[in-house]
Each structure stands twice: as C-alpha cells, then as structure tokens.
Chain A
Amino acid sequence: MFLVAAVSLLVSMVIVLARLFAGPTLYDRVLAVNSFGTLTVLFIGVLGFLTGRPDFLDIALLYALINFVGTIAILKFFRYRAIGDVSASRELGQ
C-alpha cells in the first residue's frame, strides 16, 4: 500500500520536475517548486512507514516549513531583486 503511494508520489514528482524545467514563466517554476515541496513532505512521511522508522516526521515538518518560507523568499526576491528593503539598516555589513 505504501509502495503504491511512494511510486505515485515519485511519478508526480517527475511530472512536476518536467513542469519546473519547461517553465515557461518564472511563476510556473515557483509553483512547481512549491508543489514539489509538498510532494516531498508526503514522500518523507510515506518513506518513514516503508522503512519502519516513522521518526522522519520531524524532518518532514521541517521541510514543509522551509518550503513555505523559501517560496515567499523567492517571490519577494524576484519582485525586487532583493529580499530586504531600501531603508534597511546595514549595521551588519560594517
């Protein structure tokens, strides 16, 4: 059963990757990356059951988190070519 899920998740990941490479626009790619992340989270969960070590779930949660923040960071970066603000203080650069 989990094998079915794992295989179909892998197939979906390949399809999503195809969309990621095909584009054609930036937003298609971001959407594909985000979708790929969701699939990965599910895949980690299923893999935990397959290998009988479901304590991977913390990693799945971490991945979901990074995926979400990463998507927003990418969107912000490509809108402004920077993730900060103009008015940002640059104390750290000194």
Chain B
Amino acid sequence: MNAVDVFLEVLSWALIVSGSVFVIIGSLGLWRLPDFWARLHGASVTESAGVILLIWGMCIQAGFTLITVKLIIIGIFLFITGPTATHAVANAALVTGWRPSEAEGLTGAEPEPLRPENEDDALDGGEE
C-alpha cells in the first residue's frame, strides 16, 4: 500500500462517513422542521450533500471500473431528477393555493395567476 492508496482510502472514508451524516441530518430535518415548506429544505439536504458525498465515496472505492461509470450515471440522474421532483412537489402545493408562512416583517410574493396560454398545459389540465 503506497501513499496514494492510503490517501484515497482515507478520502473515501471521509466522504462516505460525512455523506452518511448529511443523510441523517437531512431526514432529521424532514422530521423536525415545523411545516411543509421548511421540510422541503430538509429533504433537499439529503438530495444534494448526501447523494454527492456518498456517490463520490463509492466511486473512489470502486476505482476505474464499470461500477464507477454506473455510479456516476446514477449520480448525474439523481442530480437532475432530485431538484426536479422537489420543485414539482413544491409547485403542486403552491398551485393548490397554499402559501408558506412568512417570517416576521416579510411579505411573500404572490405568484402570477396562470394565464390562458398555460391552460392547455397537460399537467395543468384543460378542464378548469
């Protein structure tokens, strides 16, 4: 075992352990935070830091193999779909007319009403 190997081993340890910590913090956030709009951000911690750190750690463990390629593909896929899914959930909540509770002294922006051109948008249905 030469110095590079030791370094990589330590690095992947650090990545995986810190990734695990962030995964737990994210789900703790999902549990502890006061309301839905705040919880979104808890889930977001798992989806960003947790995924990135764990995938990188596993990549280093796997070395230059097909496994790394697949891990990177999974990573990229989660990197793209994670925020998209979070956005979709938040957007669905907003569209039903639910507004986040604002902190003291702040007024929230009111979304523009959906314009007619949006109404044949499939996800919004034309039936309304």
Contact = CB atoms under 8 A, between A and B. Distances in A.
A and B touch in the complex (CB under 8 A): yes
A35 B16 contact: no
Interface residues of A, number: 47
A10 to B, nearest CB: 10
Contact of B24 (A8, A65, A76, A78): A8
Question: Which interface class (under 10, 10 to 19, 20 to 34, 35 or more) fits B?
Answer: 35 or more
Interface in B6-57: 12-13, 16-17, 19-21, 23-24, 26-28, 30-31, 36, 39-40, 43, 46-47, 50-51, 54-55, 57
A34 B30 contact: no
A38 B43 CA distance: 10
A19 B30 contact: yes
B-side interface mostly: helix
A19 to B, nearest CB: 5
Given A12-B26, A46-B54, A49-B58, A4 B93 contact: no
Given A19-B30, A27-B89, A45-B58, A11 B24 contact: yes
Given A12-B24, A27-B89, A1 B30 contact: no
Interface in B71-128: 71, 73-74, 77-78, 81-82, 84-86, 88-89, 92-93, 95-96, 98, 122-123, 125-127
A1 B50 contact: no
Given A12-B24, A16-B30, A27-B36, A35 B70 contact: no
A80 B27 CA distance: 29
Given A45-B71, A86-B125, A79 B16 contact: no
5 contacts: A4-B17, A11-B27, A35-B46, A64-B81, A85-B122
Given A54-B67, A64-B77, A80-B125, 10 more contacts: A1-B16, A1-B17, A15-B24, A27-B92, A30-B89, A42-B55, A49-B58, A67-B85, A80-B127, A86-B127
Interface of A: 1-2, 4-5, 8-9, 11-13, 15-16, 18-19, 25, 27-28, 30-32, 34-35, 38-39, 41-42, 45-46, 49, 54, 57-58, 60-61, 64-65, 67-68, 71-72, 75-76, 78-80, 85-87
